[in-house]
Chain A
Amino acid sequence: MKCIVVTPEKTLVDEDAKFIVAPLYDGEYGIDADHAPVVGRLGVGEMRLTLVNDAVQYWFIDGGILEVVDNVATFLTNRACPISDLNVGEARKAIEDANRLPMGSLAEVEIRTEALARANAQLKAAEKAHAMK
């Protein structure tokens, strides 16, 4: 099974994988070989990629779409990076910034909730990467 992670800037991952755990909007989603065709909405969080040689890669995925078809899992996302690139301090700051956003209208509340969820997921992944070091 192939795993591909594409951002508008470049293709970050193009590897043969054994098993993939994807962060969907409502929780983690496991993908094994010969999975049925799926299009899913990605949330913000960590993607675990078990390669053929049993090595595990940890990626931070910032929303987007997951498409699984013909034994190819494609992540279309705006931003992705290895979780080791994340910084706990920056993530904490992102939470503070999100907390400071206005809540005047329904649209503003929506934007704030989204930013807060993103920042929290970033902090969680960053802390995990920090613990693994």
Chain B
Amino acid sequence: MELVSTAQFRPAMLRANAADSYAKRIVQLVSDLAQTGLKTEHPLLAKRETKKRAVLFILTANRGMCGGYNSSVLRLALAKLRELQSEYEQVDLFVSGKRGISFLKYRKIEIERSYTEFDHKPSYDRVLELANELLTLYKKGDIDRFDVAYVKFFSTAKQTPVVETLLPLSNLEVEASGNNEKKLDYEFLPSPQSILEEVIPNAFRTLLFKRLLDAAVSEQVARMMAMKAATDNADEMISSLTTSYNRARQSQITNEIIEVISGASALK
């Protein structure tokens, strides 16, 4: 199992890095746009006053054997769910991963939609479909907020469960304001505002995709760690069992020798 997850970890990591470079370019663009003096206003960036329906998307694994991966994200998600329920009239749960689905069913918490196809290799086309649907719902005003609960990947040594708000995309400006290294005079075709209209939905799609990839990478790392610990424990157990087996065998042989010797000496 450790080898399997190590093998799956590498491609997952590469995919996450590819999406990361795309996301960084988008964020850079937003910051370039901000530098033109354009007020970055967009319906997807603005906070909504209405608090009717919120969606919480929980990303868990399809399989277990990955230590505290699933439980850590589910614990955090339930706390967030309670918080959202006190604020919004209706909170719908979207859950990805069989583990999360069965956990919530056991707890008798209603799931609006469940997904099992994202797993360790989420396809962009599928994510695009979901992202576009969410964007449409948000534009129409059917949902007012969209949160994702997942395990964020920092490095192979650090993964932390987090809940992030993707709609409205308020943190995009914060991320963008962080990297203002170069200043260039761009010509915008047709206008900075129109570019923004194209960039912002794209940023949302990419960020959602990135979250799914991050969760996949974290899952493989967690499984790698858990299975490594299991292998180490089994090795330790084997060596201690071998020692006690050898001791028992040794004492049995000693006993038999004593019996033979004592039998022989009795015949003398």
Residue A33 interfacial (CB < 8 Å): no
Within 8 A of A (CB), among B134-156: 136, 139-140
Number of B interface residues in the complex (CB < 8 A):
33
Interface contact A65-B128, CB-CB below 8 Å: no
Shortest beta-carbon distance, A100 to chain B, in Å? 16
> In the bound complex, do residue A76 and residue B202 qualify as a contact, i.e. CB atoms below 8 Å apart?
yes
A99 contacts the other chain (Cβ, under 8 Å)?
no
- Per-residue CB contact flags for chain A residues 9-53 toward chain B (1 = under 8 Å, else 0) read 111000000000000111001000000111111100000000000
Q: Report the count of interface residues on A (CB-CB < 8 A).
A: 29
Shortest Cβ distance from A93 into chain B, in angstroms?
16
**Residue A67 interfacial (CB < 8 Å):** yes
- Interfacial chain A residues near B266, Cβ < 8 Å: none
Select one of B128, B188, B210 contacting A39, CB under 8 A: B188
Please name 27 pairs of A and B residues whose Cβ atoms are closer than 8 Å in the assembled complex, sorted by A: A6-B21, A6-B25, A7-B124, A8-B19, A8-B124, A9-B124, A11-B18, A24-B189, A25-B189, A26-B190, A29-B189, A38-B187, A39-B32, A39-B186, A39-B195, A40-B195, A41-B190, A41-B194, A41-B195, A64-B202, A65-B202, A67-B25, A69-B184, A76-B26, A78-B124, A78-B205, A107-B139
The answer on a CB contact under 8 Å between B22 and A25 is no
Q: Mark B187-208, 1 if CB is under 8 A from A, else 0.
A: 1111000110011001001100
B15 touches A (CB below 8 Å): yes
What's the minimum C-beta distance from B167 to chain A, rounded to whole angstroms? 16
Q: Within the assembled complex, what's the spacing in Å between the Cα atoms of A52 and B25?
A: 26
